Amino acid sequence: MTNRTAFVTGGSRGIGLACARALADAGARVVLAARDTAKLEAASAAIPGSSWVAIDMASHESIKAAFAQAGKVDILVNNAAIAKDGLAVRMKKDDWDAVLAANLTGAFLAIQQVLQAMMKERWGRIINISSVVGESGNPGQANYVASKAGLIGLTKSLAQEMGSRNITVNAITPGFVETDMTAALSQERKDNLLGYIPLKRFGKPEDVAAAVRFLASEEAGYITGHVLAVNGGMYM
């Protein structure tokens, strides 16, 4: 990946930070993007040769400004996401709109920022981080699940549009991964979830990062429109 620039949203922590490290280790110049500038600065300092830009995935203007600052992007990892859980019968429209705006619309707008340069270069890698619940559904997460299922549909449509330009578009569906989001779960909930995972453990951010690194590589050049499950077997 030498001479390739990778842009990772949600890159200041968790899965995004692990992806940034893996891509940097593979030789890419990495740009970390997230909202928390203090965390971004600290994360970037730990990855030699990386840089960072502030981004709000719910703001079109912020997205455009961040990509303008980053310059040409060869590899885009759409990882940033928020959750505002609640049963559908009581879900506020604002919570629906916020999650779809950040997780799905934001990802689409980020993709739009990189397509022209990728088409001109006739090379590009777009990797959308969806979720196992985007395939299986999950009660209490109608907005989050809809956004993650939407990413899968977006991936497949763009793969068909961009294939002739040698731009691959793939999605990864992580299962339950040890991050800040899962750390908030009760032990009872964790034990219950492990019962559904054949590998009998939660994933690590590095498990997802390894899949991202592969899909971004030259070796994955004949893979597009694919949904790669990294979930320990909990959904097949």
Active centre residues (catalytic): 144
With a CB cutoff of 8 Å and minimum separation 6, the contacts of 163 are 224, 225
- Cβ–Cβ under 8 Å, residues 128 and 155: yes
Q: Which of 208, 205, 148 is closest to 181 using CA atoms?
A: 205
End-to-end alpha carbon distance in the chain: 31
CB atoms within 10 A of CB 168: 23
Torsional class of 112: left (φ above 0), alpha (ψ -120 to 50), beta (otherwise)? alpha
Which strand (E) or helix (H) includes residue 228?
A: strand 227-230
- Cβ–Cβ under 8 Å, residues 170 and 223: yes
Distance CA 21, CA 77 (A): 13
- What DSSP designation does 157 have? H
Distances (CA, A) of 104 to 147, 149, 166, 221: 5, 9, 24, 25
Concatenate the DSSP letters of all residues of 182-215 into one string.
HHTS-HHHHHHHHTT-TT-S-B-HHHHHHHHHHH
